[in-house]
Amino acid sequence: MCAIFGLVTAAGDAEELLARMGQAMQHRGPDGEGEYHHGAVHLGFRRLAILDRQHGDQPMFSPDGRVRVVCNGEIYNHRELREELELLGCVFHTSCDCEVLPQAWQVWGEGMLDRLNGMFALVVDDADRDCLFIARDRCGQKPLYYSEQDGMFRFASEIRGLIASGVKGEPHPGVLEDYLRLRYVPEPLTFFKDVFTLPAGHCMRVLSDGSVSGLRRWWSVPGPERFDGTPEQAVDLLDQVTRRAVERTLLSDEPVAAYLSAGVDSSLLASYIKELGGDVRTVSIGFGAASDESDDAEAFAGFLGFSHERVLCSAGDLVELPRVVRQMERPVGDALVLAFDRLASHTASMGCKVAIGGEGADELFAGYSFHSTMLAADRLGGLGRQTAAGVLAYAPSWVLNRLARFPADIGSEGRQKVVRYLRGFDALTVEQKGVNLRSLFESDELSDLLLAERADTGAVRRQVGECDLLDDHLRYQFSDWLQDWAIIRQEKNSMAHSLEYRMPFLDHELIELAFSLPNDWKLHGRQDKWIWRQLAARKLPELVSRRQKQPFYFPLETYASSELFRGFVDDCLSEQAVKQRGYFSWGAVQGLKQSADAGGFLPLKKIMSLVILELWHREFVD
C-alpha cells in the first residue's frame, strides 16, 4: 500500500514537480520513498510497509533493468505467481508482493492482469515499448487519477498530488446534477474539470508525447451464465471461495483490525477470521441513535473471543467536517464520511496498519432496501403499482416505514417520492428504476434548484440491459456506486491515517460465483441475501444470521439542533454564500432550509449534501 505518482514530460522541472507530488501524499506512505527518471518518464513512490518491511521500496525492476513498475495495493496471490514464474526460470530476492510484477509483465504482458488477485493501481514502464502501461484492479479498490494538461501527462493516487504538480483545480460544472442526484460524481469524471479517474477494471497506454492511447476495459462483471447445482451445493462453494478470500486478506506483517457491526456481513467476516486463526482486534462504531448496533457488535466480538474497541460518534465530530471533505478530495454528499474517518483514526491509533471490512456483499447478493423495493414494484405489475401508489399517497408515513427498511422516519417527502416512483415506473429505464429510488434530488427539484441549464454528462450509462432487472441493476452498481460511493469513503479516510483497508468480499472469484447464482436465491420472497444468509447460518448464531440489515447511517436528525450543525448551515448556505457560488436559486435553498428545520430524513440529507459541496469549493477552488 502506498502512493504512486508520475509524469510524462520533457519539461526541465520534472524532478521538482515529482518531489512536490510525493510530499503532498506523504500520509499514504510514511515508511519509504523512491523515484525513477529516464527520458520523458518520471515515476515516484511513497510506501506504507505491510509485507517485507525491509525490501519493498519501489519502483520494482526486472533483473535486466528493462521493466520498471510502481504499484499501489496488494497482490494477494503473489506467492502462487512467484512459484509459477520460478518454474519458468525467474529469480526473486524478496518476499514483497510487488516484486513479481516486472517479471510477470515480461512473461505474460498485458495478460498478467488476468492472473492477479488483489487490489491495485499499477504503472509499467517497459524499455522495449515506447509507452507507459497503466491499469486498475477489477473493482477499483485502489484509485488512480490522471490529467493531460499543458502538454504533460500526470498520474497520482490522489488528486492533491496532481494539484501539487500544477494541475489547475477548476470545477467541472457539468457534473453538478450527477452530484446532487447521486451524492457523488461517477467515474471517469471527478468534480475537477481536468482530472479524471481511470475506471475500475480498465487499462490504458500513455505515449512518449504524453497522450493517452488504447483506453480499454480489461475485466467486466460476469455475464448471465447460471450455476446449475442445488442451493446446498452453492453454499458449499460459497464457503470455499469466501474462506479463501478472507485468508488472502489476512496476509500481513503488521497488526490487523476488523470492522464489526452486528450485521450479517461483518459478523460472517469475523467468524471466518476466527476460523482461520487470524490475530485481529475488532472495532465498531456507534451513534447513540436507534440504528446503533455497537452493543450487539461488542457482544459478538466477545462471543468470538476477540479484543474489541468501540468508537462513539457525536455532534462534536461535525467540527472535523472541513478536514474530512479535504481528505475525500471528491465531494461525497453524506455526513457518514465523518464516521469512516473516526473509525480509521481510532484503528490507526490502536497501532494497526491494516483494517478489513465487509463491503461488497450487499452489492453481490442484493442487500439494500432499494433492491427489494425495486423488485417488488416490478412484480406488482402496472395495475398493482397504480393501486399501491393511490393507497400510499394518503397513508401515514409509518405505513411505508413498516413495509421497507429506512434508517429513519422517511416522512411525507419520502412517501411522496415512492408514490411518484410507482406511478412513473413503466417509463423508467433499467438504470433509472434503481437509481431513482436512491437518488437524493429528483428532476423537478433540480429544475427549481439549479440556475444554469441542466447538463447530462452521460457518465453513468454502462453495463445494463443484458439480463433481467435485478441482474442489470447489480451489474450497474459495479460500474459506479461501488467505486464512487462505497469504496471511496473507506479508501480515502483510511489512507489519510496511513491505514490499509481490505475488502475480501470483493475477491473476483466470489464476484464471479455470486453473479452466476439465480436471482431468487438472492431476493427470496421478502428475505434479502437469502443464499448468503444460508452460508451465515452455518457459521453464526441464528440471532445473528437472521438479523435484518440495519442501514449504516449518520443520524443527522439527532444532531440537527446542535450549534455546530446550525453553524455550518448558516455559514455555507447563507444568502451571500449561495449567490456568490452561483449554482443555486436562493429561493430554492431557502425552501430546503425550511424543510430541514422542520426535521425529516430526506431534507436533512439534502442540506448536508449542499454544505459538503460548499466546503469542497472552499477547500479546493477558492
pLDDT of residue 467: 56
Task: Express each pLDDT in 512-566 by its tens digit.
Answer: 999 999 999 999 887 889 999 999 999 998 888 777 766 677 888 888 888 999 9
2-217 CATH: 3.60.20.10
Task: Express each pLDDT in 122-154 by its tens digit.
Answer: 999 999 988 899 999 999 999 999 999 888 999
Q: Is the pLDDT of residue 464 over 80?
A: no
Mean of the per-residue pLDDT values of the chain: 90
Cell of 490: 473507506
Least confident of 9-23, 277-291, 313-327, 579-593: 277-291
> Which residue, 125, 127, 122, 166, is CA-closest to 4?
122
Average pLDDT over residues 174-178: 94
Q: Is the pLDDT of residue 1 over 70?
A: no
State yes or no: 273 annotated in a binding site.
no
What percent of the chain shows pLDDT beyond 90?
64
Q: Alpha helix locations (H) across 442-507?
A: 443-449, 469-477, 481, 488-495
2 is catalytic: yes
State yes or no: 97 annotated in a binding site.
yes
Residue with cell 498520474: 155
Task: Express each pLDDT in 39-93 by its tens digit.
Answer: 999 999 998 777 766 766 889 999 999 999 999 999 999 999 999 999 999 999 9
354 band by pLDDT with thresholds 50, 70 and 90: very high
pLDDT of residue 151: 85
pLDDT of residue 461: 46
Average pLDDT over residues 20-44: 90
How far apart are the C-alpha atoms of 30 and 470, rounded to whole Å? 43
Q: Is the pLDDT of residue 465 over 50?
A: no
SS3 label, residue 524: strand
Q: Is 619 exposed, middle or buried (0-12, 13-18, 19+ CB in 10 A)?
A: middle
Beta carbons within 10 angstroms of residue 390's beta carbon: 13
462 band by pLDDT with thresholds 50, 70 and 90: very low
Task: Express each pLDDT in 515-528 by its tens digit.
Answer: 999 999 999 887 88
Locate the domains of the chain by residue range: 2-217, 231-365+500-545
Query: Going by DSSP bridges, is the β-strand pair 354-356/60-61 parallel, antiparallel, or unpaired?
Result: unpaired
Domain 2-217 shares a fold with domain 231-365+500-545: no
Average pLDDT over residues 354-373: 91
Q: Is the pLDDT of residue 289 over 80?
A: no
459 band by pLDDT with thresholds 50, 70 and 90: very low
State which fold the 231-365+500-545 domain adopts: Rossmann fold (3.40.50)
